[in-house]
Structure 1
């Protein structure tokens, strides 16, 4: 099980055990993003803001953990540092790019962990590993000291084995965060999307068991937002990491994606930004009618490792998550179990800046489904 890339012992002994993705700076520890191309990178001289906040809040930082190389992939497969085993669903991919961050929580090696989410990289591994994962509102949590330096999509977000622990994590990394009261009957807009029948049924049955008011919802620009999100990811990742191709040390799968990303032109970026405005407004409008939007996190079950070798062929895994990176809305993956025992994620999306209200609504959903705090 390859999860931990650097063992740490920082902060308060006996405090909550926290692991962080190796794109997040820890003073005196190289940030290598699980890539041989960064083996000689300079050692950070200060903590990322989120790390400093964790230590101030009394956390015990225990490890930096592995990821899909350069955070540019969805499976979590990494042939350089090794692929984090999926603790709860052996033989299945851990998901990417924050594979180690999800796996370390699923394995019980941390009370919570931090990953980053540019196009689903918290929510996808959370779903694959059967844990909770939150992508906060864009810009809510400081990214100072987090790779890449410049982004219009990426968010630092926590993984945990329960919603209450996820909320504790948010309070530690964002000192402005305050919990919101759990609502009695939040309204849910159920986004109509294409997904495997068993996945769709698992989500539909969970929402039915919640007994909460639901109404079907459709977005005109959802598919275009997925495609536009890929354009922006390609442009911004190439700007951040394209120079590493010269080292000839980038893994073949990521190198191929970076080389293709170099071809992203200004016209495509302009069209993507236009779609961003349209889709963001569409989601904002829907969230004046509903407290949250619900849909599956992934359209299918996590692939087996032997099925997931071609990174470009599995990008469809992010079809239901990436649009909300483009729009900047907070989004959360809750673990559900299908009848066959494989993991399904229930994704809930909230209004921008209303992260606490999103978590509170999610708590009500789970309390209604299971009859207790989850």
Structure 2
């Protein structure tokens, strides 16, 4: 039961074959308490008076919200573990982490309990669990999907995005978030390949093979500010975590990891936060300039296969995802079938601002080339 925090009964007027949707328990659903995966929050929270703004399309489409999924406490950890509510079991590799913070959402999709799940992504929290559970996740452009009624981690970076078994399901999920959404008519052809030192060679090879199979024109590219982007990202996350949730410091039931994060955030002064925001603008400009030379960027989602549940400390889960959260651009994580892999490597495609349509079209091309598109895909609208 660790996948779910709350389950809902189907409504009386449910259609014969409804789209089944899971909602991360950081997103308000009317009548349910939003716990943000925290006992400390649950103890004082009242049921939400209304759905989060991003769920308007879900209701209009008559989809069935199956329940609210588990997550790491306050959306803070990319591991996917939760001491209080239990850790969702990775169905692909039960001894490995499920990835977080949207762990329950990815697991609900991977086990077939739902067709589409919604998560939040601040530094990789949709893409990392998608990669760990061998499903597809889309981090949307910052500001594209409304976040009213969504638990904030770092409002300057937080987004809502869909997770599904394949890219067609992600397109369906985007249509629920943004009615009328459709993949672009033409996929990208010119892709910039980012090569980051220290990655597992087998993961790199799988990504290269996928791009080659899809017939994409690939050239190596680089981002000069890549290494230094992490400091600005961490400053913003910790500083905004403190500003949003300082009242929870030392609260009864709050986990050690979150409490330490709040203490670290308390030391981020206004000047440091402002400096990080200036850096963020420069970084966004560099990423956007590179995406003016090529249509998309490509790299793995994780530096290596997901680590064991018993040995994840120090594994750099956000190394390849956080820089694009800082840039605000959309990114698609999708599995690459690889014989003998415990968990299939995950390809990350990164697009320009508001380039979700192009990302999805290109993801569909890659899936078709790999022969991995799922039968019985969800159709909405």
Counterpart check, 1:9 vs 2:13: no
1:182–1:364 Cα contact (<8 Å) kept:
no
Counterpart check, 1:270 vs 2:270: no
Counterpart check, 1:261 vs 2:265: yes
SS in 1 for 2:119: strand
TM-score, normalization by structure 1 = 0.94
State the alpha-carbon separation in 1 of the partners of residues 358 and 259 from structure 2: 40
- Residue 130 of structure 1 corresponds to 134
Counterpart check, 1:287 vs 2:271: no
Measured on the aligned residues, the alpha-carbon RMSD in Å equals: 1.8
SS in 1 for 2:193: strand
**Per-residue deviation at 1:283?**
1.2
1:203-235 residue CA offsets vs partner (Å, 9 max, x unmatched): 122222222110000000112222211111111
- Residue 143 of structure 1 corresponds to 147
SS in 2 for 1:247: coil
Q: Which moved more, 1:333-342 or 1:276-285?
A: 333-342
1:182–1:360 Cα contact (<8 Å) kept:
yes
Counterpart check, 1:237 vs 2:228: no
Runs of 4+ in 1 over 6 A off after TM superposition: 371-374
2:165–2:374 Cα contact (<8 Å) kept:
no
State the alpha-carbon separation in 2 of the partners of residues 9 and 180 from structure 1: 36
SS in 2 for 1:50: helix
2:192–2:219 Cα contact (<8 Å) kept:
yes
- Residue 153 of structure 1 corresponds to 157
- Residue 329 of structure 2 corresponds to 329
Counterpart check, 1:28 vs 2:31: yes
2:136–2:164 Cα contact (<8 Å) kept:
yes
5+ residue gaps, structure 1: none
1:331–1:347 Cα contact (<8 Å) kept:
yes
State the alpha-carbon separation in 2 of the partners of residues 17 and 113 from structure 1: 8
How many corresponding residue pairs?
369
CA 1:9–1:282: 2 relative to 1, 3 Å: same
State the alpha-carbon separation in 2 of the partners of residues 43 and 373 from structure 1: 37
5+ residue gaps, structure 2: 376-381
State the alpha-carbon separation in 2 of the partners of residues 8 and 283 from structure 1: 42
1:141–1:156 Cα contact (<8 Å) kept:
yes
- Residue 363 of structure 2 corresponds to 362
- Residue 182 of structure 1 corresponds to 186
**Per-residue deviation at 1:10?**
5.4
Bigger proportion of residues as helix: 1
State the alpha-carbon separation in 2 of the partners of residues 333 and 159 from structure 1: 9
User: How is 1:74-113 mapped onto 2 (pairs within 5 angstroms)?
Assistant: 74-113=78-117
State the alpha-carbon separation in 2 of the partners of residues 286 and 46 from structure 1: 41
TM-score, normalization by structure 2 = 0.92
2:90–2:133 Cα contact (<8 Å) kept:
yes
